[in-house]
């Protein structure tokens, strides 16, 4: 499926911003079986998977490079975009599948311990929504990266002047080529004297 620039931007930007918002919600809830940590613990997405926020920001920056760069920049940005999106999916999926470990690790950080205490935990609906959103981000990133191969860069649109003439095989002809062939390129642009 080929996307134009506007649809590709929406396919990446909407899930990325939604994932940033979902990372502020609790992804796991539970209790630690420790004397110093009594009561329920809620672990936000940003605390459960701190790399998700960074990778989501990377997808937004890579999208900007994809939209504005030339052919090489688009290739590099598309690769970075896809890798960052899949990295965000993996980091989102891990806390959703291991809520007990997520709660235990959060309590250990809170108590400044090197070992995690025994804990109970369950995944919230926010974590599963984040996983679904990360899947959508991956699909949008792949579609945008593939579609970007047919896009024109911004640089040609904003350059001043006309493009040089092409030779018989499509190579760009310069004033030096005209001089080599015996014609004076300065006479071509001179005003007519009548």
150 lies in some domain: yes
Residues 5-16: pLDDT tens digits? Answer: 889 899 999 999
Of the pLDDT bands very low, low, confident and very high (cuts 50, 70, 90), residue 40 is confident
Of the pLDDT bands very low, low, confident and very high (cuts 50, 70, 90), residue 41 is confident
26 lies in some domain: yes
Residues 46-85: pLDDT tens digits? Answer: 888 889 999 999 999 999 998 888 888 889 999 999 999 9
Contact 92, 49 (CB under 8 A): yes
Range with lowest mean pLDDT among 18-32, 47-61, 118-132, 173-187: 173-187
Distance from the first to the final alpha carbon of the chain? 59
Contact 102, 95 (CB under 8 A): yes
Residues 135-170: pLDDT tens digits? Answer: 999 999 999 999 888 877 665 555 455 555 565 666
Q: Structural domain of residue 85, as residue ranges?
A: 5-158
Please give the pLDDT value at position 84. 96
The domain total for the chain is 1
Residues 91-123: pLDDT tens digits? Answer: 999 988 988 887 777 777 766 666 666 777 788
19 lies in some domain: yes
98 lies in some domain: yes
165 lies in some domain: no
Cα-only R_g, the chain: 27
Q: Phi first, then psi: what are they for 151, rounded to 5°?
A: -80, 155
Q: What is the DSSP letter of 172?
A: B
The CATH number of residue 82's host domain is: 1.20.140
141 lies in some domain: yes
- Helix or strand (DSSP H, E) at 28: strand 26-32
116 lies in some domain: yes
CA distances, 40 to each of 28, 117, 144, 187 (Å): 11, 14, 42, 85
31 lies in some domain: yes
Other C-beta atoms lying within 10 Å of the C-beta of residue 182: 6
pTM here?
0.71
Check residues 10 and 187 and name the one with the higher pLDDT: 10
């Amino acid at each position: 499926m080929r996307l134009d620039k506007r649809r590709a931007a929406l396919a990446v930007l909407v899930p990325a911003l939604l994932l940033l918002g979902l990372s502020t919600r609790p992804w796991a809830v539970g209790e630690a079986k420790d004397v110093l940590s009594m009561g329920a613990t809620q672990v936000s997405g940003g605390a459960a998977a701190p790399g998700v926020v960074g990778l989501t920001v990377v997808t937004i920056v890579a999208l900007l490079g994809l939209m504005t760069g030339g052919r090489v920049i688009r290739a590099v940005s598309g690769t970075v975009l896809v890798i960052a999106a899949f990295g965000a999916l993996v980091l989102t999926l891990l806390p959703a599948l291991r809520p007990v470990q997520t709660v235990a690790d959060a309590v250990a950080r809170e108590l400044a311990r090197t070992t995690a205490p025994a804990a109970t935990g369950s995944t919230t609906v926010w974590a599963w929504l984040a996983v679904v959103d990360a899947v959508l981000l991956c699909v949008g990133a792949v579609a945008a990266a593939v579609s970007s191969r047919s896009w024109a860069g911004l640089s040609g649109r904003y350059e001043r002047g006309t493009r040089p003439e092409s030779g018989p095989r499509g190579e760009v002809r310069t004033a030096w080529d005209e001089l080599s062939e015996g014609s004076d390129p300065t006479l071509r642009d001179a005003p007519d004297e009548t």
